[in-house]
Amino acid sequence: MTDRTMTLDDLRRILLEEAGAGEGADLDGDILDTDFGDLGYDSIALLETASRLNRDYEVEIDTAVEARTPRQLLDVVNAA
């Protein structure tokens, strides 16, 4: 699955599958620049998500924790 671009919808789906529905915010809304913490995802939820991204997109994200928002995470994956 190399050369595949990850969209915001892909990320929404993966977040739901790996870390469940966040508490406190609606994933379907405009979340591109919302902090993951405000979406209800803590560092371990992001670690779990990063592990899935590494498998599906053949990237090597060490710490997704550094990406604070969906936009930043998409940039990291799509730049790899």
Partner 1 sequence: MTRSVVVTGIGVVAPTGLGTEEFWSAARAGRDGIGPVGLFDAAGYPARLAGEVTGFEAADHLPGRLLPQTDRMTRLALVAADWALADAAVRPGEPPALGMGVSTAASAGGFEFGQRQLRNLWSEGPGHVSAYQSFAWFYAVNTGQISIRNGMKGPSGVVVSDGAGGLDAIAQARRRLRGDARLMLSGGVDGTICPWGWVAHLAGGRISTRDDPETAYLPFDPRAAGHVPGEGGAMLVLEERRAALERGAPRVYGEIAGYAATFDPAPGRGREPALRRAIEIALSDAGAAPDEVGVVFADAAAVPELDRAEADAITAVFGPGAVPVTAPKTATGRLLAGAGSLDVAAALLCMRDGVIPPTAKVRPAADYRLDLVTGRARPARVRAALVLARGAGGFNSALVLRSGAAEDDQRQEAR
With the C-alpha atoms ordered 48, 38, 72, 17, is the resulting torsion angle positive or negative?
positive
Which one of residues 12, 18, 59, 72 is an interface residue with partner 1 (CB under 8 A)? Answer: 18
Footprint of partner 1 on 35-74 (CB under 8 A): 40, 44-45, 47-48, 51, 54-55
Q: Closest separation between CB of residue 63 and partner 1, Å?
A: 12
3-state secondary structure of 62: coil
Residue 6, CB-side half-sphere exposure with 13 Å CA sphere: 29
CB of 40 to partner 1, least distance (A): 6
Cβ atoms of 65 and 46 within 8 Å: the answer is yes
Residues that bind partner 1 (CB under 8 A): 16-23, 40, 44-45, 47-48, 51, 54-55
